[in-house]
Structure 1
Amino acid sequence: MSASTHVLEIDGLTLGLPRVTRPVLDGVDLTVGVSEIVALVGESGSGKSMTLRTALGLLPRQASVEGLVRVAGENVLMMTPARLRRLRAGTVSMIFQDPRAGINPLRRLGDFLTESARVNGGADGVQPMARARHLLAAVGLTDRVLHQYPHELSGGMLQRIMIASALMNDPGLLLCDEPTTALDVTTQAEIVALLTDLRDRFGTGMLFVTHDLGLAAAISDRVFVMYAGRIVEHGQAASLFATPRHPYTAALLRSTPRLEAPGQRLDAIPGQPPDLHARLPGCPFAARCAHAIERCRAERPEPDGGVACHRAGELVLANVQEGDRSRG
């Protein structure tokens, strides 16, 4: 995919904070293309949401930042506050995990939906309220909700309102920060289908942050696996989940429930993710990895063919041979 087709490019992003030992984000490289859904997965605290927020220029105070974050070809990290406000009101939008935390409970939903469009002087010449009605229909709601307050709607309906609000100004990039976590399974499936349909209809690129690998497999074109602020593996969703090459990716998959194996005991990843005060001279996963050798603890693995693991080739070959023996 050429650079001109990317709506988001993150190149060598490193973010540090005062009074911590290691970077929160450590050399992150990531891209999202036009009409592409990219999933960013990993355990809580791995840096997923922080990566996502850099695309909006939402950085912690006193943060030190290196690298590039380009949205529609412009470096977000070099933007003025006024330019950032215009970016957030048009080029890029975000769907937060908890819709009730992002909507003013004292205002009617019609006011909430049309606020950003009014600030921008309307969306593509269409009156804000007419645009809101169009998007409500796209997310499966009637314009009755324009006159309602947030407490009158269910969580699933409010999340649809958040999606409609995020699309008010036709953003080229949609950031989704675990938008289905607080929803029941049925509503979650509806939201996933809705986002996929909206991608197809509006051509929006999406960065979808989740810790749910099943959800990532269902919705994404490509997947980036993050651990301790680093991308440890990335690739096409189907191939990455079928043949994971990094031990961390494989461990995440083994700990995910599967419909074809109901009642089967799930594997747990031993230990805990490293905290921000731990020095990581080698692979950040080495302390929890059953395949780690001394080199893993001492030398940082650089990405090679989409995976950052010293033993990736050996482990993939071993898995293939094991599969051949089981079939024989």
Structure 2
Amino acid sequence: MRLPRFLLDLLRGALIGTAEIIPGVSGGTIALIVGVYTGLITSAGHLVRGAVRVVIDGVRGRGLARARAQFAQVRWMLLLPIAIGMGAALVIGAAILGPVIEDYPTQTRAVFAGLIAASIAVPMGMVSHWRPRHVVLAVVAAVSAFALTSIPGSVDADPALPLVFVAAAVAVCALVLPGVSGSFLLLTMGMYAPTIAAVNDRDLVYLGTFAFGAIVGLGLFVTGLQWLLEHRRDATLAVMTGLMVGSLRALWPWQTEDGGVLAPQGDILAILGLFLLGVAIVVALLIIERRLQARQPHDLVEGPK
């Protein structure tokens, strides 16, 4: 693998990691935008199955041949730089973006809304044939996401470790399912502020529990989604499109502290400009990705039909 590709995947991982600390923005959505979604899902599936085989076959004394076969199918040269980029972004972003989001909530939501609105074209364009049932699925998913993001955020508290485990297992779905924001799910469970604080304070007990919960949740969820992408691709992408549309509710710029919708106020033109900036960022990323694919064809976006 050439260095430019490694650096590009580091940047992709950093973008995904940054999205994971922003309520209302889905890491899975960013993975779709930058063209690594299918590659990550496929590799994660093999990695999870390999880890399961290590445990099961090891206990039964069957050796590690089947586990090694799964690990051999992991795209390590994609997975590792993205994981490194994500980890760095989570640490840096928690320290930098957290205060920015807190101090400028209206402006940051406007940018994030532009990002999501423009990125809806990604899963929509990946559906090979839009049929009436796909439209119905997209509408149901959009309504569900709208309802979910309309739930008022609960008050943050000092959570017990079992709750940290469960919250991580649920929130990690955002890495796999575009349109679902892991940070927003944490926010509704009252876990967002404690998690950001744990990252900034290097609370290893909290972070270790969170990581274990995320691994378990990923193991339970990723295999099913991988099967859907392989066998029900258009229907799954239609649902993803709907989820992204519905999730825009969480990013309406003018909101109360508990997420209630307010009428536009203040410098509306500036907010509109920030929204368009978010759109422009996604369009630029898509153009770069398409040019890169034209020069170096790969299957990061196009998965099994």
Provide TM-score, normalisation by structure 2.
0.23
Provide TM-score, normalisation by structure 1.
0.22
Q: Select the structure that is richer in strand.
A: 1
Q: Which has the larger radius of gyration?
A: 1
